[in-house]
Structure 1
Amino acid sequence: MRIAISAETNDGLESVVSHHFGRCPYFVLVNVEDQEVQDVQVI
């Protein structure tokens, strides 16, 4: 499962969450399999 999190900074899982999903400067994409984080990307 891939989860997208809106972020204010480009710090991966340590990023500050943005309150505006449509206007955030970054998205943190987290790929989760078997309840474990497999991959983290920032776009």
Structure 2
Amino acid sequence: MFAYLLEKLSVWFETAERRRREEYLAQSSDIVQLEKRIRSLETNGYTL
């Protein structure tokens, strides 16, 4: 039961983090800014 709960919690956190990154990228005003943000996420380990 504990493992199941831990797994569900992990999935929930991963989904929230992915949504946060997608919102950050969606705020880009053009392709150049989008590429810079993608590079920034890749170099900084996907932390905002």
Shorter-chain TM range is under 0.3
Larger Rg: 2
TM-score, length basis structure 2 = 0.21
Between structures 1 and 2, the one with greater strand share: 1
TM normalised by structure 1 equals 0.22
**Structure with a larger share of its residues in helix:** 2
